[in-house]
Structure 1
C-alpha cells in the first residue's frame, strides 16, 4: 500500500479489497471502467475517450477534494491483482459533516463478486465510528436493481424518490439511508 498523503482519508481494508486515496498513477485502471458507457450512464460525466481525460478527472475531482480537506472517493484495490477495480466514497463531504452520501462505481469485469457488500462491511464502521456520522445515504437509480442487494443486507431504509435529468433522459432515483443508531442496533 502507498503512503497516505491525506490522513483524513483513512486506509481501510477487507479480506479481498482495500480502500486508499486515488492517485494519478491509477489513471490506467480508472480509464478502463470510466471509458465504458454502461458504467457512466448515470454519472454526470461522459465516457472518457482517452487516459488524459481520466488524469484530468482524477486531479480536478478526487485530488482536489482531498487537498481541500473533503472526504471523497477511495480507489477500490483488488488485492489479488493489485489493481484498482473501482471507486467508492463520499460525494463532496466536508470534515465534520453529520451525514454523508456514499457512491460506488465498479469495473464491470468485477460485477457479481459481492464486492459492494464487502465494501460496505468496511466502510460503514468507518462512517459511524471514525467519522461519527449520524446518517449515511445513497442514491440508487430505479433500474439498477443489483445495487439494492447490499443495501438490504445492511438494513438501509427507503427515504424518498425524485426524478433527475441525466443525459437528456428523466431517471427515477431512490434514496436509501441508514442511521448510526439503526446500524449499531442491527449488528
Structure 2
C-alpha cells in the first residue's frame, strides 16, 4: 500500500466491484479508452478478477486502486504493464474528481515505487483529443516523443495517439520505438 497526503494507493480487492463499476461504466471517463463502458456489475466483477485480483502477486504488473484517505473507496486507478518492452503507464478517474490533481499525485507516488524497483522507463499514450490526459503526462515529468495513427479496437475507429516517455534511470537518449515501428502512419508534432 502506498500513501500520499490525500490518497491511499492500494491493490484492488473483491469488495471494490461496485466502486470499479462506477468508474468503468461512465461514458465520459472511458470515452478515449480502448474499451466500451461496462454495462453491468457482473461484467465488472469478471474484469476485476481477471485484470486485478489474478495479477496482484505478479511483479510484471503494478495495478492500483486510487482512494481518498477518508474512506479508502476506489475513485480511480493507476497501472503499469511491464510484461513487454513498452512499460505502458495508464490511469483513470471518476469525473467528479477531475481537475483536482488526484491522478497526478497518485502517478507521482507510483513512479517513486517504479524507480525503487529499477524500472528503467515508462511510456504512455493518449488520444490527441484527450488533452487532459496529455497534461497529466507532462505534469508527472513525461516527454512527448512522437505520434502515430492506429485503428483502435474494439471501437474500430482511427485514432491519432501521442506517445510520451519518462526515463526513470536518467538515460534520456532512450526512446521506445515500438509504436513507431508497428504503425506506418507515424510522425513528430511540434508540441510545446
| Both structures adopt the same fold (TM-score exceeding 0.5) | yes
Q: Relative to total residues, which structure has the larger helix share, 1 or 2?
A: 1
Q: How far is 1:177 from its partner?
A: 0.5
CA-atom RMSD, angstroms? 2.2
- Corresponding position: 1:51 with 2:7: no
One of 127, 136, 145 as aligned partner of 2:114: 127
One of 67, 72, 87 as aligned partner of 1:82: 72
- Aligned residue number for residue 16 of structure 1: 6
One of 33, 38, 42 as aligned partner of 2:28: 38
Q: Distance in 2 between matches of 1:161 and 1:25?
A: 39
Secondary structure of the residue aligned to 2:71 is: coil
Note if contact 1:23-1:63 (Cα within 8 Å) is conserved in structure 2: yes
Note if contact 2:32-2:130 (Cα within 8 Å) is conserved in structure 1: no
- CA deviations on 1:60-117 (whole Å, 9 max, x unpaired) are 11122235543142111111232210111113x24xx776221001011111111122
- Corresponding position: 1:176 with 2:160: no
Q: Relative to total residues, which structure has the larger strand share, 1 or 2?
A: 1
- Aligned residue number for residue 8 of structure 1: none
- CA deviations on 1:154-179 (whole Å, 9 max, x unpaired) are 33111221122231211111110011
Secondary structure of the residue aligned to 1:39 is: coil
- Structure 2 counterparts to residues 106-145 of structure 1, below 5 A: 106-128=93-115, 130-145=116-131
Change (3 A) 1:150 1:40: closer
Matched residues, number: 170
Note if contact 1:62-1:72 (Cα within 8 Å) is conserved in structure 2: no
- Aligned residue number for residue 50 of structure 2: 60
- Aligned residue number for residue 104 of structure 1: 91
Scaled by the length of structure 2, the TM-score of the pair is 0.79
Can you give the 5+ residue segments of structure 2 that lack an aligned partner in the other structure? 172-192
Q: Distance in 2 between matches of 1:27 and 1:117?
A: 24
Change (3 A) 1:84 1:163: same
Can you give the 5+ residue segments of structure 1 that lack an aligned partner in the other structure? 1-10
Note if contact 1:27-1:58 (Cα within 8 Å) is conserved in structure 2: yes
Q: Distance in 2 between matches of 1:163 and 1:156?
A: 20
